[in-house]
Amino acid sequence: MTSKTPLRHCVNMSHPATDQPVLLIDAEAPLRDLHACLSERLNAVLKYLDLIACIRLLDHAEQDINTVTTIARIMVQDVSDLFGVIERRELGAEQK
The pair phi, psi for residue 17, each rounded to 5°, is: -90, -10
- Domain boundaries of the chain, sorted by first residue: 31-95
Q: Which amino acid is at 55?
A: I
Sort strands 24-26 and 10-12 into parallel, antiparallel or unpaired.
antiparallel
Q: What is the mean pLDDT of residues 52-62?
A: 77
| SS3 at position 73 | helix
pLDDT tens-place string over residues 16-28: 778 887 888 999 9
Quick one: pLDDT at residue 3?
55
Mean of per-residue pLDDT scores for the chain: 85
Q: Using one digit for the tens of pLDDT, what is the confidence trace for 60-76?
A: 777 888 888 899 999 99
38 three-state secondary structure: helix
- Interatomic CA distance for residues 93 and 96, integer angstroms: 5
